[in-house]
Structure 1
Amino acid sequence: MILARLDIELPPETMIRDVSTAEPAATFRLLSGVRSGDTAVELGEVVADDPVAAGDRIADHDAVRDYEWLEVEADRALGKYETTDTALYEFVADADLPPEYPVVVRDGRYEFDFVGTRAEFEGFRAAIEDAGRDYELLSLADGTPSESPLSDAQRETLETAVREGYFEVPRACSLADVADATGVEKSTASRTLRRAVAQVTARFLADPRD
């Protein structure tokens, strides 16, 4: 079983590419999406210094309708909307893979976590190349039990988050607390923790017998 993370160029003239390049400092997360015919209903999160302004770019885009704010915080906003932009669904369908959520987008590119056999991975990579997309392979591991999917920094950040209570409900510490405890910037802690959780989740879901 292959566990991989790729950074992939978004297709031109797509809604999320337009929005994310207009707000290059923001992080857009597609948390879930359901396609029905020529449209899709999506649940999206924006993390930014001004999440409402970044979210308004989605709401005002020609490909989006019925945007509904679900939650707004100082640096985060959550919205639900319908879009006629179904390029992502078409791409993963062509690659014969289900979309893996969350899909994380920054400045015209998105991170994709892949879990599958080596043959499926090679087919997926070929589909990216056939589509003429620029991409970078961020990590690649064979999902055998003897290998750790985490870097030292990812392990330290994840262990700190667990120890300090970041994953408790309600949370016993903030992301800023995790960053302070590990001696890094908040944005670095966020990125490292997100990747650590994705790697552990992918390893848990992977079946090493494949």
Structure 2
Amino acid sequence: MAHATLTITMPEEIWIQQLSTAYPESTFRVLAAVPGPESGFALVRITGQTVTAVIEAMADHSQLTELTIVQQADSEATVHFETTAPLLLVSSQESGVPIELPVEIVDGEATVEVTGSRERLADLAKQLERFGFQYRIENVSERLHESQLLSERQLEVVVAAVEAGYYDTPRRCSLTELAARLDIAKSTCSETLHRAEEAMIKRFVAELPGVAEHADLEDQPAGT
């Protein structure tokens, strides 16, 4: 499964793009969202010094047919609303790729994280383009379950090494002692640990921000 972080620019005709660019100092944090037959419903937390003005603008916008204030303070409010333009939700639904919440939207741009097969992510890219979204790929990496990262034997040896103190400083167990504990040859123990360490270190480095290869969802140069 591939995990991607996208920065999505909303189309100008959508209410959230209009309001978030009109109040760029405000942050819209989508806590929950669900598409309906012809509309979408969401729970959003708004933070910033212009919360009252933002809520008033939301109440007046034609694309928001229902608005309920759940909680409001000086610089924060949580609102529930219905919108006739849930295009991001529709893109997610049509491609079969769920968008991980929360989603933050600031000044017309949303930071979105999604996980799925590369084919599904390619479908999401097509749906975004269909509805006029521009996007750029911030990060793409493979998300593996731990059982896929190490073989059963590698996992057994690594766990035994940790329990025996092989990775402690100072080391409480030598490679020879660890091999004897596992009843395997020293060379076999060393090779198994090396392969396991290689897999774990490469996985760790690949998930560091800015290290993973930036690639389009369809393995093409990123574009808008």
TM bracket, shorter-chain basis: 0.5 to 0.7
Q: In structure 1, the residue corresponding to 2:41 is in which secondary structure?
A: strand
Q: TM-score, normalised by structure 2?
A: 0.60
Q: What is the CA–CA distance in structure 2 between the aligned matches of 1:66 and 1:150, rounded to whole Å?
A: 41
- Give per-residue Cα distances to partners, 1:35-75, cap 9 Å, x unaligned: 22222222111111222222222222111133211112332
Q: TM-score, normalised by structure 1?
A: 0.63
Tell me the number of residue pairs that the alignment of Structure 1 and Structure 2 aligns: 152
Identity %, equivalent residues: 25
Gaps of 5+ in 2: 147-199, 211-224
Contact persistence 1:48–1:54 (CA under 8 A): no
Q: In structure 2, the residue corresponding to 1:38 is in which secondary structure?
A: coil
Q: CA RMSD in A?
A: 2.3
Gaps of 5+ in 1: 153-210
Alignment of 1:1-210 (within 5 A): 1-144=1-144, 145=146, 146=200, 147-148=203-204, 149-151=207-209
Contact persistence 2:97–2:121 (CA under 8 A): no
Per-residue deviation, 1:132:
4.9
Bigger Rg, structure 1 or 2? 2
Q: What is the CA–CA distance in structure 2 between the aligned matches of 1:66 and 1:113, rounded to whole Å?
A: 27
Change (3 A) 1:131 1:33: closer
Q: What is the CA–CA distance in structure 2 between the aligned matches of 1:81 and 1:131, rounded to whole Å?
A: 21
Per-residue deviation, 1:98:
2.7
- State the 4+ residue runs in structure 1 displaced beyond 3 angstroms: 126-133, 148-152
Contact persistence 2:11–2:132 (CA under 8 A): no
Change (3 A) 1:77 1:151: same
The range that moved more, 71-80 or 32-41, is 32-41
Change (3 A) 1:2 1:90: same
Matched with 2:180 is none
